[in-house]
Chains A and B, each alone.
Chain A
């Protein structure tokens, strides 16, 4: 990372050494290099600030149970051991809860994408009366503390006999993720040139065929990114899950509920286990992040 000077583009026509230049230019170039180095230092410092805590909890998750309990704590998992992680995974309820979490997240992903995709497409492609009002209300709903609605919803679910069911949690999570998904999908479709679809229509496709054969394949990566993000949001959600379930806990709900009854190894391994999907999924969706949030300010 200290190779800063070479990253700076050299003057375009002939290579000139800095020290051969007039003194003012030398100063300016040195100042720019210094600033550049400063920017790298800041960039790296922020990266360390984000990575260090993850490294530390990862260290504990993969240390031997004895090392996990030791003090002072070690800063690297040596000797490496999966015992703590296995202890967590074999703890009562963890595997069923993980399965529940995955089922909930997949149901949410499917439901949310299926409902949001048409709406997103409509907002991106059509001009119609009430479009702005709808967009605005979606933005408002997005900012609204929806999770809090789990409390009244739990009462309704109880009355209808839907309480403590995996699909009920998925219904709530869909409500939670729907506004975001609509906005993201609409921005994805908006980035697919309208002309392509019109060209397809000129060549004899119906509106639906044009959508299916042209717009959808082009939008698919973006829609997939949004679906992944929906999955992560559902996988992470705690409050609604812990309110809406009792026996059929999702993983975050189970961990939260057992916090005061469980020891440190459970917490460390559980915390790390929950953040792993983020490390993987964010990597795949990183190009679409600004698609997801750029919309919101317009």
Chain B
């Protein structure tokens, strides 16, 4: 092609597709790898003792990890010449670290979010005399004084965070509380107190929490992949996924070739048959799963049928953890029912590309159907079958909704179902492991494609050599 005569039109026409696939295909793929292999999270170190500086680190928890609350400790530190004290909450928590091990240790309350289950409603005056004020401010009018150890009822919290500058020494948001108390002469007074002048019973906090901060970290990691591989359901998912491929594909291809030959034999109502055979092309895996659920569920059609024949006297429970083989059979049937049409269409296209002379020659020489199939049709169909095989295997690794519709996805699991479970907010809510599963499925698909193409090539070489 001469550069002078280069026509830019086709490139302009391709540009939108190219950009779109870059944005929504190539970029998410990079993202998937980043999610699966890169820890981009905040890690909270847990301490052996409730102290920041010198305590050893006993473990690390990722942001978002749910933790169990084991113990609470309040450490008071005197500040500003002993006039004010800081109360620091330390929580002893336990949770599962990124490696999947349970670790426990101490963390500051600010780093772990724990909901206050119920806020204490009582307190006592801590020391000296507390001045009750008319409003939540240090310059508000003093309306009464409460001596040490007076019990007060807490009515309202004000965290508007008024800062007080005691000679510029303290810059601290103050919490004001509206309290009511009984004075020594039996009178009930109401007013505002600064929180530090009260000793408040620790509010009860719930027994679980969530890590909400930590130090940021970005690093390459195999943790998510390890976690995926170590997960108890990983082996199940891999085995079931491969088992489904092995069980479904052979039957599917034989059936598809039969369907294609039927369509090629020019029956009457040929276009009706074509329509019927193609219907499953437009049926989703979820709908197909539900269709076969009607057959295999406990009060479903299979049991109804068997019972009407008198073979059973009460419904047999096909879908249960005790009969995984029946779940597999149901899924296999549903997938064969749904996805054979796709193979059929590819095979018919392939058949149409075979010159009629070849087929007729076979007939003229009196070859039986099997002989024609074996020596003429199948060898010529090879490229089509090859493509269909790659396509169907890769699609079979994405089987998801059929499994969930038939079995609920708990008793029996497949790879895509695990990716969803790890992703699901109601379940594990771990996008990284979910991305690891995505990457695993991609890799598996790629491996399958390469494997097929190599096998076929070496076979061709063998044939060429022999």
Residues of A participating in the B interface, judged by any CB pair closer than 8 Å = 7, 39-40, 42-43, 46-47, 49-51, 53-54, 56-57, 60, 69-73, 75, 114-116, 118-119, 121-123, 125-126, 128-129, 131, 134, 141, 143-149, 151-156, 171-172, 174-175, 178-179, 182, 207, 229, 232, 235-239, 242-243, 246, 252, 255-256, 259-260, 264, 267-268, 270-272, 274-275, 277-279, 281-283, 286, 289-290, 292-294, 296-298
Contact = CB atoms under 8 A, between A and B. Distances in A.
B262 A42 contact: yes
Name the residue in B284, B300, B346, B349 with the highest tally of chain A Cβ atoms < 10 Å from its Cβ. B284
B336 to A, nearest CB: 9
Interface stretch (B10-18, B141-149, B215-223): B10-18
Given A118-B16, A149-B29, A264-B297, A143 B394 contact: yes
Interface in B428-451: 431, 434-435, 437-438, 441-442, 445, 449
Interface size class of B (residues with CB under 8 A): 35 or more
Interface of B: 1, 7, 9-14, 16-18, 20-21, 24-25, 27-29, 31-32, 34-35, 255, 258-259, 262, 265, 267-268, 271, 273-295, 297, 299-301, 303-305, 307-308, 315, 337, 342, 345-346, 348-350, 352-353, 383-384, 387, 390-391, 394-395, 397-398, 400-401, 404-405, 408, 416, 419-420, 423, 425, 431, 434-435, 437-438, 441-442, 445, 449
16 contacts: A42-B262, A56-B295, A57-B291, A73-B304, A141-B25, A148-B398, A148-B419, A238-B285, A267-B290, A272-B287, A274-B283, A274-B284, A278-B287, A294-B353, A297-B346, A298-B353
Given A53-B337, A155-B35, 10 more contacts: A54-B279, A73-B300, A73-B301, A123-B10, A126-B7, A238-B401, A267-B293, A290-B345, A294-B353, A296-B346
B438 A286 contact: no
Nearest to B272: A47
Contacts, number: 282
B255 to A, nearest CB: 8
B267 to A, nearest CB: 6
A51 B303 CA distance: 19
Contacts of B268: 7
B304 A297 contact: no
B13 A121 contact: yes
A238 B438 contact: no
> Sorted from nearest, which 8 A-B pairs have the closest CB atoms?
A271-B290, A278-B282, A236-B284, A72-B304, A175-B24, A152-B31, A294-B349, A122-B13
B348 A71 contact: no
Nearest to A128: B10
